[in-house]
Amino acid sequence: MSDSRGVSCKAEHNLTLNFREKLSVTGVKEIINFDEKGVNVKTLCGELSVDGENIHINALNVEKGELEISGKINGINYFDTYDGDRKTLLSRIFK
């Protein structure tokens, strides 16, 4: 799938949003960071940012690449570049 800028993603990656309250994501590689205002996720198709209120991670299965988020979802954005200097959630926990 290509967008108007020619960015393409040929990996299995899907988003399903229900009533702006529940988001299911496949193709997840890792969680970069999260709090009650949002979550940033590294996916097979780039970095995904979900912004909202009272955001909770209900399920995460990194082996299967699946993530389920709930809360009031106000925005979903992709970033084509991944900032390698950012510390992932797991790297911050296991210093």
At residue 61, what are phi and psi to the nearest 5 degrees?
A: -130, 95
Q: In whole angstroms, what is the distance from residue 33 CA to residue 22 CA?
A: 18
Q: Supply the pTM of this predicted model.
A: 0.75
With beta carbons less than 8 A apart as the criterion, state whether 41 and 32 touch.
yes
For residue range 27-76, what is the model confidence (pLDDT) as tens digits?
Answer: 999 999 999 999 999 998 889 999 999 999 999 998 999 999 999 999 99
Which residue has 């590294």 as its token pair? Answer: 42
With beta carbons less than 8 A apart as the criterion, state whether 60 and 66 touch.
yes
Q: In whole angstroms, what is the distance from residue 26 CA to residue 70 CA?
A: 15
User: Can you give the pLDDT at residue 11?
Assistant: 75
User: Can you give the pLDDT at residue 84?
Assistant: 45
With beta carbons less than 8 A apart as the criterion, state whether 43 and 14 touch.
no
Confidence of residue 9 (pLDDT cuts 50, 70, 90): confident
